[in-house]
Amino acid sequence: MTSEIRQLAEKYISDHNNPITKKLELFGSKLFLSPLTEDEECRKDKFFKDKEDYLKHNRVDRRVARGVAEWLPLQNQAKVTKIVGALANFGVQNKDGKFLNAEEALFLVEINKLELVCNDVPMGIEEAYKNIKCLKKYLAYKQLALHGCKLKTPVLKNSRQTEEVEEEDGPPTKVAKIDENVDQATEVLEKLRQNAPQTFQARDSLKKAADFDVNMPTCRENLENFNLIVCTSEDYTSNVDEDNLNVFALNSDGDVSFYKFYNTNIPIL
């Protein structure tokens, strides 16, 4: 096994040091028809030999064509130190630099677009997989990313909650006049409201937060964009207040399926 790996490594190094620079000359289709002259037979044999050599040559991507990022274990993120090619379309940029989450870093390592470094040592694919906390989440991310979708982790915005502050001067000076007829009408309406059909409310289901904001590759407007929620078939619970932009990625035995559920109002007969 060790000798086979050594031979494979030597072949990769040899192909990398001796790249194919000349273009393969095409052989005319009419020259495949027999009978051919001796010169045409030689040209045909040379064409097939060159084509076979081209197919046997391993394509090795240059190391300088890959971006570089430093893995930060505490933040579970990778800080980009060198941006090359498609790496500019991934990650989040802020004043401290450009950062990739674990799913983005692993995906770029798998497609050979990123060199992930930890403590000045390049990480392999197996080590990069260990950085993933949720494999199901990455499988859903990878499937959409391979189709050209742009996935971003939603940024949690700090919303300021406004609280109602009572005035220290005491109760308001204006007091509403109480009418007995109004009180009787209010009691009747309250009884009707209690006896009327009630709107269904899911008590046990909690609204799930989106794992990714997905932008479709062919989307010109924001109508086709959606929020991706990753879960299993056992974890999914219906919610009547679910956002119509939510798409669920249900993972079962490594297979990822995407579903979108719509709320339907059933009339009360």
Whether the per-residue pLDDT at 65 is higher than 60: the answer is yes
Please state, in angstroms and rounded to a whole number, the distance separating the CA atoms of residues 207 and 39. 75
Q: Among 63-72, 76-85, 145-154, 181-190, which is the least confidently predicted range?
A: 181-190
pTM for this model (two decimals): 0.56
Do the Cβ atoms of 210 and 229 come closer than 8 Å?
A: yes
Mean pLDDT, rounded, for 187-192: 79
Residue 156 pLDDT: 40
Mean pLDDT, rounded, for 173-197: 68
Confidence of residue 188 (pLDDT cuts 50, 70, 90): confident
Which CATH topology does 134-155+207-263 take? Trna Endonuclease; Chain: A, domain 1 (3.40.1350)
Homologous superfamily of domain range 63-133: tRNA intron endonuclease, N-terminal domain (3.40.1170.20)
Please state, in angstroms and rounded to a whole number, the distance separating the CA atoms of residues 102 and 129. 9
Whether the per-residue pLDDT at 162 is higher than 50: the answer is no
Question: Which residues, at least 6 apart from 73, have a Cβ–Cβ distance to it below 8 Å?
Answer: 118, 131
Pairing of strands 67-72, 114-118: parallel
> What is the token pair recorded at 78?
């990778």
Residue 240 pLDDT: 52
- Mean pLDDT in the chain? 73
Whether the per-residue pLDDT at 261 is higher than 50: the answer is yes
Cite the DSSP H helix spans in 69-195: 102-110, 125-129, 135-146, 180-195
Beta bridge partners of 165: none
Peptide bond into 171 cis (omega under 30): no
Residue 241 pLDDT: 56
Q: What is the pLDDT of residues 163-176, one digit of tens each?
A: 344 444 555 555 55
Whether the per-residue pLDDT at 181 is higher than 50: the answer is yes
Mean pLDDT, rounded, for 191-216: 68
> What is the token pair recorded at 150?
């742009």
Residue 167 pLDDT: 45
Residue 210 pLDDT: 77
Could you give the 3-state DSSP secondary structure of residue 244? coil
Helix pair 102-110, 135-146: axis angle to 10 deg: 60
Please state, in angstroms and rounded to a whole number, the distance separating the CA atoms of residues 66 and 105. 12
Q: What percent of the chain has pLDDT over 90?
A: 2
Could you give the 3-state DSSP secondary structure of residue 76? coil
Confidence of residue 70 (pLDDT cuts 50, 70, 90): very high
Using a CB cutoff of 8 Å and minimum separation of 24, what contacts does 251-255 make? Answer: 251/136, 251/139, 251/140, 254/139
Residue 182 pLDDT: 58
Question: Which residues, at least 6 apart from 249, have a Cβ–Cβ distance to it below 8 Å?
Answer: 136, 140, 228, 229, 230, 231, 256, 257, 258
Domain ranges of the chain: 12-56, 63-133, 134-155+207-263
Q: Which helix (H) or strand (E) holds 249?
A: strand 246-252
Please state, in angstroms and rounded to a whole number, the distance separating the CA atoms of residues 18 and 12. 10
Whether the per-residue pLDDT at 82 is higher than 80: the answer is yes
> Minimal CA–CA distance to 68: which of 57, 78, 54, 53?
78
> What is the token pair recorded at 202?
């899911």
Q: Among 25-34, 43-52, 113-122, which is the least confidently predicted range?
A: 25-34
Residue 24 pLDDT: 66
Please state, in angstroms and rounded to a whole number, the distance separating the CA atoms of residues 110 and 124. 9
Q: What is the pLDDT of residues 88-140, one digit of tens each?
A: 888 888 888 889 988 888 888 888 888 888 888 888 888 888 878 788 888 88
